Amino acid sequence: MSGIRGFRTGDEAALAEVCLRTADAGGDATGVLADDDLWAALFVLPYVARHPEFAFVVESEGRVVGYVVAAPDTHAFEAWFRERWWPRFAGRWPDPAEVRTRQDGLIRYASARGGEAVPFADDHPAHLHIDLLPEAQGQGWGRRLIDTVLGALTAAGVPGVHLVASSANTGALAFYRRLGFTELPSPEGDQAFARTLPAP
């Protein structure tokens, strides 16, 4: 049996595995960094720690094979990330003196979060991340996950949502366009999208 359910405490390791196996522009990022755990510490675990009510998983035969996570207020989430979440990893991933590797770049990115304006969050305050293992792709689960989290955000009175994808992840870019997300002006190498949500 396969289906979508809400996040449950204990799912964290499975979410981290899905994140790792899809983190390299949609491909497997195992071994890309010196420490594989960094991906999940940035892109999925803080979301389920802060907003488990906006986290949903696809479960197939008892395994988590995909997820969507969201923060309803990006400004508040980024401040929490900077003040509460990231400091706990300062000993494990100290801010590098200079960026020499991809891991250095991600650590520098994490250290800067919450310290500068988020360009898309005023009009579309929520943001989300979605990932599916290859075995779960092409079956409609992505659309159903997006519909589920957007329904939860709408019910909470959130007026809009944005996301940022790698420009190299052509499958993801096509997916968001099919779901009615609008492209936004974006920095080189990334493509941002947004959707306005209806009043609850």
Q: pLDDT for 119-163, tens place per residue?
A: 889 999 999 999 999 999 999 999 999 999 999 999 999 999 999
pLDDT on residue 117:
74
pTM summary value? 0.95
| Domain carrying residue 166 | 2-196
CATH number reported for the structural domain that contains residue 166 in this entry:
3.40.630.30
Amino acid, res. 93: W
Query: Per-residue pLDDT for 182 more than 90?
Result: yes
Give the DSSP H/E element, type plus range, for residue 15: helix 12-22
pLDDT on residue 136:
95
72 phi, psi to nearest 5 deg: -75, -25
The total of structural domains in the chain comes to 1
- Average pLDDT, rounded, for the chain: 95
Q: Where are the beta strands (DSSP E) in the chain?
A: 2-6, 55-60, 63-71, 126-132, 160-166, 182-184, 190-196
- Across 75-81, average pLDDT: 96
pLDDT tens-digit profile of 12-63?
Answer: 999 999 999 999 988 999 999 999 999 999 999 999 999 999 999 999 999 9
